[in-house]
Structure formats: structure tokens, C-alpha cells
Amino acid sequence: MRAIPDVSLLPLAELVSLAGRTAVVTGGARGIGRACGARLAEAGAAVLLADVDVDGAAEAAATIGRGSVAAHVDVRDAGSVRALADQALAGQGRLDIWVNSAGIYPSRPLFDLSEDDWDAVVDVNLRGTFVRAQEAARAMIAAGNGGVIVNVSSTAAYRAAGVGVAHYVASKFGVRGLTQSLAVELGPHGIRVLAIAPTVTLTPGLEEQREALEAGGFELESLGASLPLGRVAVPDDVARVAVFCASDLASLMTGSTLLVDAGELT
Ligand SMILES: NC(=O)c1ccc[n+]([C@@H]2O[C@H](COP(=O)([O-])OP(=O)(O)OC[C@H]3O[C@@H](n4cnc5c(N)ncnc54)[C@H](O)[C@@H]3O)[C@@H](O)[C@H]2O)c1
């Protein structure tokens, strides 16, 4: 059992800083993952942007700079995730932060939803989160510095907000429970596990699904206007909270899912 250190006497600037830490962001090529990579790098972490779209990840790394690098990963494949964790560990000899943003959300009304559609979403979003957390934790324990795993969940982890998303909602409810279970099992290793639940967030993936989501009842623009804070999210809204989760500001937080929802669930 390793107790999380008490950081009360550290100055705020030191608590926010991620200098000297190594971070992996899955789904780092675009959208929320890319924004997380940019903010983690700005906070001082050495960032590995991993994605099945390795060209996109390379472009993101070149744009973000600050020593960030790209890697290939397919989160459906445990061997690929293990290779990524090994690569991260080999680079700096440590692995401190692992953000799970890679996820998919193809919309399908219930009676069009095939078992293959179901499996595809659960495979990436839920099984893939389990595999990623397991491999990240293995590497963090090997490095011996503790660590933080941040799962990108969704307000769909709390309620179904339209038709066509049963498989997605089930996967994100699962991520919330998995986050709690991982927190219990990994806490004694000094590894914190948190999740972030964003409201609708304007990303390339969302744009690809816009038509189908709107057919299922998500009126994206009017949803933003109806929220207490008056707009939906942009990726950086989530990324700033990811930095908070990863930093020592949140050093006694684990198992929670943090809503970044402009008041959607309030
Ligand atoms: N955009 C939203 O409205 C919204 C809201 C709440 C939660 N989320 C969650 O945020 C996360 C990111 O969503 P986004 O909108 O940024 O999506 P996006 O499609 O813009 O980006 C997702 C990235 O994940 C990568 N990816 C997909 N499958 C992969 C796999 N098998 N292996 C490795 N990489 C893979 C894609 O190549 C892409 O670069 C997802 O988990 C999503 O469920 C999104």
C-alpha cells in the first residue's frame, strides 16, 4: 500500500505543473484527445499522442510541438495497447498520465442496431477502456511512481438523451462503473483513476455524426442554447479539466466522474 503524498505545502504553480511527467493520450489525433494532448504538453508533460490514425497523430504532434510525439495504437487490440505502454515507459523510464479519449459514437436507432454495431462500440469504448487501463497500470506499477488514468466518458454515462445511442449509452455507463472499480483496485498502487463526462462537444467526430444524431432528436445548436451556461463544449473545455485531473491539484481524487456539461444534467 502506498499512501498518496500530502501536497498541502506545495505552491500552486508547482501543483499545476506536469514538468518531468510522461503522458499518453489515446485518440490523440483529433477532437478531445488532441486538445488534452496540447494542454498536457503546455503544462510540461512529455506527451505521446496515440491513435489508429497515425498520420493524424503525427500532424497533431507537429502542431502541438513541445516535444510531443505520435504513435500508432488500436485500442481494440490488447497487444497494440501493451506495445504503446511499453513504448511510453521506454522513452522516459516512467509513465505518469494516461488519457483514454479514443472512442466512437455511430448513431443507430434500436431496430437498426445489429449485434455487430453493438460489439463495435462496446469493443472500443468499454472493453478498450479496460484494456488500456490494465496496460497503463501495469506500466505505471513497473515504473514505481504511481500515476493517473483519465477516462473520457460522457453525460451519456448518466442518461439516454435521444434515440440511436443505446449501445453508446451502455458503453459509457460501463466506463463510469469501470472507473470506480479501477480506482478501488489501483489506489493501493498510488494510481488515481478519474473520468470526465462532457456534454456535446464540437469535434470532427461529432461533425461526422451530426446528421444522424439530429435525426435521432439531438438538436445540437438548440441544445447549447438550452443549457444553463448557454453553449455546448469545445474540446479545450474538457482538456483543461483533464490537466486538473492529472495534476496534484486533484491528488486526493479518485473514482469520480467529473461533469463538464454546462449544467446539462443539473
Ligand atoms: N464529441 C462529443 O460530443 C463527445 C461528448 C461526450 C463524450 N465524448 C467522448 O470523447 C471521446 C473523443 O470523442 P471526439 O468527439 O473527440 O471524437 P473524434 O472522432 O473527433 O476523435 C476520436 C479519435 O479516436 C480515434 N480512435 C477511434 N477508434 C480508435 C481505436 N480503435 N484505436 C485508437 N484510436 C481510435 C480516432 O481515430 C480519432 O482520432 C470519445 O470517447 C467520445 O465518446 C465525445
pLDDT at 222 (0 to 100): 86
Q: How confident is the model at residue 235 (pLDDT cuts 50, 70, 90)?
A: very high
- For 21-40, the pLDDT digits (tens) are 999 999 999 999 999 999 99
pLDDT at 163 (0 to 100): 85
Query: Any residues with Cβ below 6 Å from ligand 1, and which?
Result: 26-27, 29-33, 51-53, 56, 73-76, 101-105, 124, 152, 154, 198, 200-201, 203-206
Give the Å distance between the CA of 9 and the centre of ligand 1.
38
CA gap 251, 245 in Å, rounded: 8
Give the Å distance between the CA of 10 and the centre of ligand 1.
35
21, three cell numbers: 511527467
- For 238-249, the pLDDT digits (tens) are 999 999 999 999
- For 133-159, the pLDDT digits (tens) are 999 999 999 999 999 999 999 999 999
Ligand 1: atom nearest CA of 100 is 41
What is the pTM for the complete model shown?
A: 0.97
Q: How confident is the model at residue 212 (pLDDT cuts 50, 70, 90)?
A: confident
Ligand 1: atom nearest CA of 75 is 32
Which structural domains are found in the chain, ordered by start?
12-259 (3.40.50.720)
Query: Three-state SS for 100?
Result: strand
More confident residue, 93 or 213: 93
For atom 23 of ligand 1, the residue with the nearest CA is 27
Q: Give catalytic status of residue 158 as yes or no.
A: no
CA gap 142, 93 in Å, rounded: 9
Nearest to 143 by CA among 178, 71, 91: 91
What's the angle, vertex CA 256, arms to CA 251 and CA 257, rounded to 5? 125
User: Which residue(s) pair with 191 in the sheet?
Assistant: 147
Point out the catalytic residue in the list 98, 158, 168, 244.
Answer: 168
Q: Does residue 1 surpass a pLDDT of 70?
A: no
Q: How confident is the model at residue 92 (pLDDT cuts 50, 70, 90)?
A: confident
Give the Å distance between the CA of 77 and the centre of ligand 1.
16
For atom 32 of ligand 1, the residue with the nearest CA is 74
Chain-wide mean pLDDT for the chain? 96
pLDDT at 80 (0 to 100): 98
Q: How confident is the model at residue 101 (pLDDT cuts 50, 70, 90)?
A: very high
- For 187-199, the pLDDT digits (tens) are 999 999 999 999 9
For atom 42 of ligand 1, the residue with the nearest CA is 103
